[in-house]
Amino acid sequence: MAEVETHDSIMAVAIVSEWKEAVVRGMPFYLFVPRGLKESAQKLVEDTSVPVSGIYEYTFINGLRQVL
């Protein structure tokens, strides 16, 4: 399971509840966040005890999404 977040969605209060629901399904859980928000996302999952399999940043280069 992977969640692609935007700057606005990662700041939403309800986002942690959505992540926890995804984790309960027993699948590996990956987060993709906009470039520059990886540390914030890492702190958020640590503070809320959401187990993630990985957090990756993305950006757009020449109109294409690039995972960093």
Total number of domains in the chain: 1
Q: How is the beta sheet containing 64-67 ordered, strand by strand?
A: 2-4, 30-34, 54-61, 64-67
Query: Residue 18: pLDDT band by 50, 70, 90 thresholds?
Result: confident
The residues with which 24 forms a beta bridge, in sequence order, are none
Q: What is the mean pLDDT of the chain?
A: 91
pLDDT at residue 25 greater than cutoff 80 = no
Residue 30's domain comprises 2-67
| Separation between Cα atoms, residue 66 and residue 68, nearest integer Å | 6
